[in-house]
Amino acid sequence: MMGRRYFQGKNSLFLTIGAGVLITLLVVFIITPILGLFFRITFEQFLASLSDLVVWNALILSLVTASISTLVIILVGTPVAWINARHQYPGREIVDTLIDLPLVLPPTVAGLALLLAFGRMGLIGSIFYDYGISIAFTTLAVIIAQIFVSIPFYIRQARASFEQLDPMYEHAAKSLGSPAVPTFFTVILPLVKAGLIGGAIMSFARALGEFGATIMFAGNFQGRTQTMPLAIYTAMQGDLTAAITLSVILIIISFLIIALVKFKLRGYTER
């Protein structure tokens, strides 16, 4: 039935089989490694590892830092995305390109760059250090690294959502006498909510998985800068069971977040 609807003509059978094979291969390719993790430990081992302080320290640190990063990204990224979507100003293209730069930068390069900027010998970090403030190797550094690598995901999505919105809505509100800022919050934001939440989730997921920039810039210290990915990397070199437990927890959390958001988004778009 699907075939008849989407692929009409004499090649429809061939294409339907081809599409089926392709989708099956892709699903197997993604599912197999994940199942590999789940099959490698018993439930008892999983529960035993849960009592390990490393696991809880990393889990709490990851969730707290990724949440703060995402909040900052939304607060800073939303106005920037709106301005870049609706207003032309000199250098806008350059700003847009720079915002995308962390996407193509290898995370280790980002981490080294952050260290050389915010480290106590760095460009900006040395000024803070003179006032007794250290940034590198603190929880703040974890958050800075996460914001740096994941902010493009939000701004790209937010800008696209704003651009897709018909300017008619703003014009109508304006002609009815509504000032710009209230219009933004009461008219525009509700219309692009789904897109913004989608972008925020992408950023949150990227922040949760951040490894390279964090280990370079924030270091690796349990309870302070050792997020889940760092804990997994460190544990893998000593206690593989703990590494697998951490991975399984991370997968479950990521999956729950995606599922929750998809469910919520469906509510928004249908309303």
Partner 1 sequence: MKFSWIIPVTAVFLAAILLTGCTGNQAEPGKTELTVFAAASLTGALTDMAETYETSHPGIHVVLNFDGSQALRTQIEQGAYADVFLSANTKHLYALRDQGLMENSSIGLFAKNKLAVITPASNPGNMTTLADLARPGTRLVIGTKDVPVGDYARQILKKMGNDSTYGPSYTASVLANVISEETTVTGVVTKVQIGEADAGIVYESDITPENRDRFLVITIPDQYNVIAEYPAGIAGSSAHKDEAAGFLAYLKGEQGRAILAKYGFALP
Q: At what angle do helices 53-86 and 240-270 cross, to 10 degrees?
A: 40
Given a contact cutoff of 8 angstroms between Cβ atoms, the answer to whether 267 and 193 are in contact is no
Least CB distance to partner 1 at residue 121 (A): 4
- The answer for residues whose C-beta is within 8 angstroms of residue 148's C-beta and 6 or more apart is 102, 110, 114, 213
Nearer to partner 1, 119 or 152 (CB): 119
Q: Tell me the closest approach of the beta carbon of residue 180 to partner 1, in angstroms.
A: 45
* Residue 115 touches partner 1, criterion: CB under 8 A: yes
Tokens standing for residue 52: 């390990």
Residues in 133-172 that interact with partner 1 by CB under 8 A: 134, 136-137
Residue 203 or residue 225: which is nearer to partner 1 going by CB? 225
Site string for partner 1, 240-269 (x = CB under 8 A): x-----------------------------
The encoded tokens of residue 31 equal 């599912």
Burial grade of 168 (CB within 10 A; 0-12, 13-18, 19 or more): exposed
Task: Yes or no: say if 212 and 110 are a contact pair by the CB < 8 Å rule.
Answer: yes
Among 7, 46, 128, 184, binds partner 1 (CB under 8 A): 7
Distance CA 154, CA 76 (A): 10
Record the tokens describing residue 261, joined without a space: 């958001």
Those residues with Cβ within 8 angstroms of residue 132's Cβ, 6 or more apart along the chain or in another chain: none
Contacts (CB under 8 A) with partner 1, residues 212-241: 218-222, 225, 233-234, 236-238, 240
Among 120, 170, 184, 187, binds partner 1 (CB under 8 A): 120
Kindly tell me which of 208 and 218 has the beta carbon lying closer to partner 1: 218
Site residues (CB under 8 A) for partner 1? 7, 9-11, 14-15, 18, 115-116, 119-121, 134, 136-137, 218-222, 225, 233-234, 236-238, 240
